[in-house]
Amino acid sequence: MTILLTAANGRTGRAVLKALANAGAEVKVFVRDEGQWPALKELGAASFALGDMEYASTIDAAMDSCDGIIHIGPPMHPNEVEITGRFIGAARSHGLSRFVYYSVMHPLRRAVRHHRLKLDAEEELIESGLPYTILQPIRYMQHLAMIWKKVLDTGVHAMPFNVDLKFNVADLRDLAEATAIAATQPGHLYATYELAGPEALSQRDMAGVISRVLGREIRAEAVSLQQVEKNARAAGASDDRVTQMLTMNEHYDQFGFHGNPNVLRWILGREPNTYENYVKRLAAR
């Protein structure tokens, strides 16, 4: 059984690819740059298809000799629905036996565009007649990796949220393993799974865990949205991306991001990783 994996060169895609390879699956990666192939082969991919999610003909060609697909969309993309629709259309004409869609937890939070677009894409998938599995992962623990150097340099864990707001962050490794299980093992068709981490942690709690692991004090601080915008623009983010990030951060800041780990625990057949374990892994890197 060959599984087509989209966004394979991204952060999530690489983690899912590794988990699929560990599970012995044969994976064809969908990439838009041939130069990405050697590294993905190293991670366990069996073949690649060169394509662009904006071009239906490249998607159609990529599905040749595939039995199933794990579709991961580019983050916060304005065309999430159109892109997913192209993969759904091609999967139908190729008669794929399984369409795993990597969505987000609480797609019904319509005020956040990429949540709402994933909800619309889920609806299209459910109504497509394809055998599907929808995965709804929560925010990753791995957001810490993006600010890790700064945490070490400054002693401050700074995120754009009220420091007492709770999130059930999940380890991307667990989410990737759960994705591989849902895509390769029987019993997961026509399911929609909310995937959340085991602890409800505030930024202050996270700073406490990091302090314990490092053996020195790390302080939690809420970054202002103005600063988030300034950082994003300095990093070259588009106007659209900046707007979506600010909307998301504002929304999470207002409502938090709670989830329940039961489903992830059941799929994995073990306890999901704790934040402390993740921080230890990061610190040992």
* Cα distances (angstroms) measured from residue 253 to each of 55, 161, 167, 249, 263: 36, 5, 10, 6, 25
Q: How many residues does the chain have?
A: 285
Q: State the nearest-atom distance from the C-beta of 77 to ligand NAP, in Å.
A: 7
Listed as own residue / partner, the contacts of 234-239 with beta carbons closer than 8 Å and 24 or more positions apart are none
Q: Which residues have a Cβ under 8 Å from the Cβ of 184 and sit 6 or more positions away?
A: 1, 3, 20, 23, 25
Q: Which residues have a Cβ under 8 Å from the Cβ of 165 and sit 6 or more positions away?
A: 202, 203, 252, 253, 256
Residue closer to ligand NAP by CB (options 155, 199) is 199
What stretch of H or E contains 198?
A: none
Q: State the nearest-atom distance from the C-beta of 26 to ligand NAP, in Å.
A: 20
Residue closer to ligand NAP by CB (options 97, 250) is 250
Residue closer to ligand NAP by CB (options 33, 239) is 33
Q: State the nearest-atom distance from the C-beta of 216 to ligand NAP, in Å.
A: 27
Alpha-helical (H) ranges within 23-142 are 37-43, 56-62, 80-93, 113-126
Query: Going along the chain, which residue ranges are E strands?
Result: 2-5, 26-31, 47-50, 68-72, 98-102, 132-137, 156-159, 191-195, 219-222
Residue closer to ligand NAP by CB (options 13, 198) is 13
Contact 219, 130 (CB under 8 A): no
Q: State the nearest-atom distance from the C-beta of 102 to ligand NAP, in Å.
A: 6
Residue closer to ligand NAP by CB (options 15, 151) is 15
Residue closer to ligand NAP by CB (options 47, 129) is 47
Helix (H, G, I), strand (E, B) or coil at 230: helix
Q: State the nearest-atom distance from the C-beta of 136 to ligand NAP, in Å.
A: 8
Binding stretches for ligand NAP (CB under 6 A): 7, 9-13, 32-33, 52-54, 72-75, 102, 104, 114, 137, 139-140
Residue closer to ligand NAP by CB (options 82, 205) is 82
Smallest Cα–Cα separation from 71: which of 34, 125, 146, 113?
125
Q: State the nearest-atom distance from the C-beta of 114 to ligand NAP, in Å.
A: 6
φ, ψ at 284 (rounded to 5°): -85, -5
Q: State the nearest-atom distance from the C-beta of 4 to ligand NAP, in Å.
A: 12
Q: State the nearest-atom distance from the C-beta of 131 to ligand NAP, in Å.
A: 21
The residue number whose beta carbon is nearest to ligand NAP equals: 10
Residue closer to ligand NAP by CB (options 219, 254) is 254
∠ Cα 278 228 84 (to 5°)? 70
